[in-house]
Structure 1
Amino acid sequence: MRVATAVIVPKSAVRDSKSHSRLVGEARARLTQLGLAADHALAEEPAVVIAEESMPPHVVIVTFSWEMD
C-alpha cells in the first residue's frame, strides 16, 4: 500500500534543503494525524514528485509518498 500527501508551494521551497526537510516533516505529521500511517512506518525518505505543468510559473505541486507493508 502507498500513502501520499501533496502540497502547493513556491518553487524556491523545493530547492532549499531546510524547506524541503520541513515539508517532509509536515507531510509525515499530516498522514499520522489523519491516522493513515504510523510514524514508524514513515521512517524512510519519501518518494517526491514535483509537478509544475499546470501551475502558475512560481509554484509547484509536491507529492510525498511512502510505500508501506
Structure 2
Amino acid sequence: MDQKKYPEAFKYNAFAAQRGNAYGQGQLGYMYEAGLATRKSIDSAVKWYRLAAQQGDPYSISRLKELGK
C-alpha cells in the first residue's frame, strides 16, 4: 500500500474496530504493531488483536501467539 494512504486506512480501520468489526480490529492491531500512520505501540496492538481474537479472527490469534500474549 502507498504510504500516503496509511492515515486513511488507519481512520477506516479504527472506525470499523470501534464498532466491533473483527477484521478492522485485527488491521488496527497490525497498524499499531508496525507503527503505520500512528506511533508504534505493542500494548495497543495487543488490545485490538485480543478483541478480534475473541471473535475468532485467525490472523489476530496468530499475532497474539507470535507476540507471546
Same fold? TM cut 0.5: no
Structure having the higher helix fraction is 2
Structure having the higher strand fraction is 1
Radius of gyration: which is bigger? 1
Structure with the larger RCO, 1 or 2 (CA within 8 Å, 6+ apart): 1
| TM-score, normalised via structure 1 length | 0.31
| TM-score, normalised via structure 2 length | 0.31
